[in-house]
Amino acid sequence: MSVAGLGVRLGGLPVLRQVDIEVPVGQMVALLGANGSGKTTLIRAVLGLTPHQSGRIELFGRPQAEFKGWAAVGYVPQRATISLHSTTLGEVVRCGALARRRRDGARPAGRPKELAAAALAKVGLADQAKELFLHLSGGQQQRALLARALAQEPDLLVLDEPLAGVDLFHQEAIATHLDQFRRQGGSILVVLHETEALAGSIDRAVVLSEGRVAQDGPLPPDPPSHRHEHEPSTRPAGLVTGMEPRWIS
C-alpha cells in the first residue's frame, strides 16, 4: 500500500498536505502524531471512506479507483461506531470470516464459525462468544473488532488505535498475533499513541504533524506519546496462555 503527495481538505480546510507513506508487504508501519494531526483522515482516505483532492493511493499495486480486492483489507475503526444492540460477539466476528476473500479472488480454507472462534481466542474472548457485543466493556469491544478483522484473513490490516483501552495483558497477546501476521507476509498500518506493546514489531514509524509527514524512519527512541519507554516492564513472559494474572484489573 502506498500514498504519494496526498492532499485532503475537510470543511474547506487542509487536513493532509503532500503526505507520502508506504507500507511494504510483510511490514508493520506505525502512524504516530498528536490529536488532530490527521492520522484517522489518512487511514480513511486510504480506505476510500474520505475523498482526497490530490495525490495517488495504491493498494496492492493498483490505483485505489481501480482496486476491487477490499476483502483483503481488514479495518479496525478508531471507535466502535456500530450499534449492535442485539448482536452477539460471535456473530460480529463471523461477519469478518464471511467477508474473507483473498485479493486473488480465492477463498482461504476453513469454515466461518471455526475462523471466528480462532480469532476470538487470539484476542482472549473465546469464552464470551455468546455475549451481546453491547454488554462488553470498551476494551473488550475493541478486541472484538480486531478479532473480526483477523477472521477476515486479510493481506493488509489497517488499524486505528487498536489497543486503546485494552489492558496490558491483552495488549501483549494481541501484539504476539500481529507480529505473527506480519511474519507470515501480512502488512499492517497501525495508528498508535502508545508504541510500547508493539515496539518490537514496528518496522517503520511515520509521524504526522499538522497534516504533514514530520518524520519517517525507525521508531523514534522517545516519541511524544511514548511515555513509559524507560520504565521497567512488570509484565511476565509468555502471556498468550489465556490465563489472566490476578494483578490485572
Question: Which stretches of the chain bind Mg ion, using CB under 5 A?
Answer: 39-40, 78
x/- site string to ligand ATP, residues 32 to 71, per CB under 6 A?
-x-xxxxxxx------------------------------
From CA 151, how far away is CA 96, in angstroms rounded? 5
| Interacting span for ligand ATP (CB under 6 A) from 10-18, 64-72, 119-127, 148-156 | 10-18
Contact yes or no for 92/43 (Cβ under 8 A): no
Least separation, in Å, of the C-beta of 136 and ligand ATP?
22
Which of 13/109 has CB closer to ligand ATP? 13
How deeply is 48 buried, as exposed, middle or buried, from its count of CB atoms within 10 A (0-12, 13-18, 19+)?
A: middle
| Residue 124 near ligand ATP by CB under 6 A | no
Give the three-state DSSP class for 234.
coil
| Residue 141 near ligand ATP by CB under 6 A | no
From CA 212, how far away is CA 248, in angstroms rounded? 38
Contact yes or no for 156/178 (Cβ under 8 A): no
From CA 133, how far away is CA 80, in angstroms rounded? 10
Least separation, in Å, of the C-beta of 50 and ligand ATP?
8
Rule CB under 6 A: which residues touch ligand ATP?
10-11, 15, 33, 35-41, 78
